[in-house]
Structure 1
Amino acid sequence: MTAFEIGGASAADMELFRAWADDEGWNPGDSDRLAFAVADPRGFLMGRLEGEPVACVSAVRYGSGFGFIGFYIARPAVRGRGYGIQLWNAAMHRLDGRLVGLDGVVAQQDNYRKSGFRSAWNNVRHEGVPAVDGLSAAVESGGSGIEVIDARSLPFAELAAYDRRFFPEPRDSFLAAWTGLPGRTALAAVRDGRIEGLGVIRPCSAAARIGPLYAAGPAVAAALIGRLAATVPAAPGGGAGPVAVDVPDANPAALALMSGLGLVPTFEAARMYTGPAPEADLPALYGVTSLELG
């Protein structure tokens, strides 16, 4: 009988998580794994066949009642042989008793429904070079009084409290790494001393990813996108580089803004939960943090 074993992922395995996700066309961030590891060091599982890594999944615990599944990948050569479902079962066992969320690609959504997940909304990736005219119009429509500053200059407790409006459990260690890793830019929109927006951009193998993107309205979101996009290195041959934002379709204003900026849909995943969707400030959620960890 062929030996298939499931165990915790090593640092070298985390490099494979990223490479395999890239092979799937998910465009993970270059340094995402460094933030993921501090979120829940035991939350990443690797399946090995005769000692060789062939499948992976993440099952990250947040607080006492929430968990998130991501990175569910079986390598093409071993698909259809039952290894993926064994890994899935191990991941779900690790999150037993919690509300569990995930972002399911279209091809897998029926399988997730069989495991008790139900769709809450779709995260639609919008990609491209933001149109300057669209940014200017959006900012002028209601961005007065907003100051965009380095988010890392703010007391971290304020950032963490703001993030809790959008996530069901505290995730301070992850958030500190996510906003502070080298090569990233984290910006906050502040009005009269209050945080009214937060955006983080990170380099990826393709378009630079913006996430999270929180904003009190389209003008604030546009101001953040403009400043974040300005940090992206020019594309080969000149011109600004592209950005990508995973936009919840539960926020129609966010979809309208992306269209107005000339960003086009390129990828879609359903946000799904095993129970009622946790409360979140959806009207201010313009881009989710990560499809892998929520």
Structure 2
Amino acid sequence: MTGFEIGGASAADMELIRTWADEEGWNPGDSDRFAFAVADPAGFLVGRIDGEPVGCISAVRYGSGFGFIGFYIVRPEFRGQGYGIQLWHAGMKRLDGRLIGLDGVVDQQDNYRRSGFRSAWNNVRHEGRPRRDGAAGGTGGGGGGGAGAGVEVVDAATLPFGMLAAYDRRFFPEARDAFLSAWTALPGRTALAAVRDGRIEGLGVVRPSSGASRIGPLYAQSPQIAAALLHRLAEHTPDGVVAVDVPDTHTVATELLTGLGLVPTFEAARMYTGPAPQLELSGLYGVTSLELG
């Protein structure tokens, strides 16, 4: 392993990492890297052999007690030579002393367990064009009318950011204001909120990707609100085809999406190094990102 070095990612590296993730079939958002960079600018590591990037990992710190591992990739031609484990140790060292989470692909989950991670649930990606008929159809009419009495679906940018951040905090272990601000406002994205009597009762963001447009997060206080947001967000995509990563423990969310005609296409285990954080899982209809939580 002569000449192998690990260092912080540059802006060019962030674009390369996104390309590698796409080649792995993960379908990252086209502009995710810009929000990732503000979440923790030093949290993205690249391994190089004589200056050539051959692998990467993200180890992003949130607040004082939480961290998230993602983008653990070694280029296929460099696998099995010990580079990956060095990247892994570098990422874990950066998050030492924190509760650490990750979304583990199937073929790596045993390795993560050997490093002390335990499964909390599986995030199952559902893809398709949400229909308006069937078991859940009609719940998400235009204008947010299908979201329930007194609920209005609005552009999230019209709400005080503090309201959005406080709502997000119900579904994530630490505050992540800088990330959330970028995530909801990057060009090409649509962020919608469901509001009733001045309170946020749902939030969804859709972003362009190389495959199906990705929706995440998708938070809602009822299936009707989730469906209304899903339909409205799908209207802001080129072809109406979307992908949502849904915790399999949330059976109501799974039934909603399958009832709307979306089908499972990908699965990753949400894993933690300690007890799973206390989140409002009943309102979590779609996680924000498999790379950063």
Q: TM-score, normalised by structure 1?
A: 0.96
1:162 and 2:167 aligned: yes
1:227 and 2:227 aligned: no
- Provide the rounded CA distance (Å) in 1 between the counterparts of 2:138 and 2:193: 20
Change (3 A) 1:4 1:26: same
Offset at residue 136 of structure 1 (A): 3.7
Q: Which runs of 5+ in 1 are unaligned?
A: 235-240
- Provide the rounded CA distance (Å) in 2 between the counterparts of 1:24 and 1:103: 14
- The one-character-per-residue Cα deviations of 1:10-44 (angstroms, maximum 9, x if unpaired) are 00000011000000000000000000000000000
Offset at residue 146 of structure 1 (A): 1.2
Offset at residue 2 of structure 1 (A): 2.1
- The answer (yes or no) to whether the contact 2:126–2:243 under 8 Å persists in 1 is yes
Partner of 1:20: 20
- Provide the rounded CA distance (Å) in 2 between the counterparts of 1:274 and 1:215: 28
- Provide the rounded CA distance (Å) in 1 between the counterparts of 2:109 and 2:219: 26
- The one-character-per-residue Cα deviations of 1:50-83 (angstroms, maximum 9, x if unpaired) are 1100000000000000000000000000000000
1:88-99 equivalent positions in 2, closer than 5 A: 88-99=88-99
Partner of 2:37: 37
Report the count of equivalent residues.
288
Q: Which of 192, 195, 203 in structure 2 is aligned with 1:198?
A: 203
CA RMSD of aligned residues (A): 1.1
Stretch deviating more after TM superposition (58-67 or 135-144): 135-144
- Provide the rounded CA distance (Å) in 2 between the counterparts of 1:137 and 1:187: 19
- The answer (yes or no) to whether the contact 1:124–1:246 under 8 Å persists in 2 is yes
Partner of 2:250: 251
Offset at residue 142 of structure 1 (A): 6.2
Amino acid of the structure 2 residue aligned with 1:138? T
The sequence identity of aligned pairs, in percent, is 75
- The answer (yes or no) to whether the contact 1:214–1:287 under 8 Å persists in 2 is yes
Amino acid of the structure 2 residue aligned with 1:37? A
Amino acid of the structure 1 residue aligned with 2:122? N
Q: Which runs of 5+ in 2 are unaligned?
A: none
Partner of 2:282: 283
DSSP-derived class of the 1:254 partner: helix
DSSP-derived class of the 1:158 partner: helix
- Provide the rounded CA distance (Å) in 2 between the counterparts of 1:101 and 1:40: 15
- Provide the rounded CA distance (Å) in 1 between the counterparts of 2:72 and 2:238: 31
Partner of 1:266: 265
Q: Which of 215, 225, 229 in structure 2 is aligned with 1:210?
A: 215
- The answer (yes or no) to whether the contact 2:147–2:227 under 8 Å persists in 1 is no
Partner of 1:87: 87
- Provide the rounded CA distance (Å) in 1 between the counterparts of 2:232 and 2:147: 16
- The one-character-per-residue Cα deviations of 1:136-185 (angstroms, maximum 9, x if unpaired) are 43348862321000011100001000000000110000000000000000
Q: TM-score, normalised by structure 2?
A: 0.96
- Provide the rounded CA distance (Å) in 1 between the counterparts of 2:248 and 2:161: 29
- The one-character-per-residue Cα deviations of 1:110-157 (angstroms, maximum 9, x if unpaired) are 000000000000000000000121454334886232100001110000
Amino acid of the structure 2 residue aligned with 1:88? W
Partner of 1:188: 193
1:81-160 equivalent positions in 2, closer than 5 A: 81-134=81-134, 136-139=137-140, 143-160=148-165
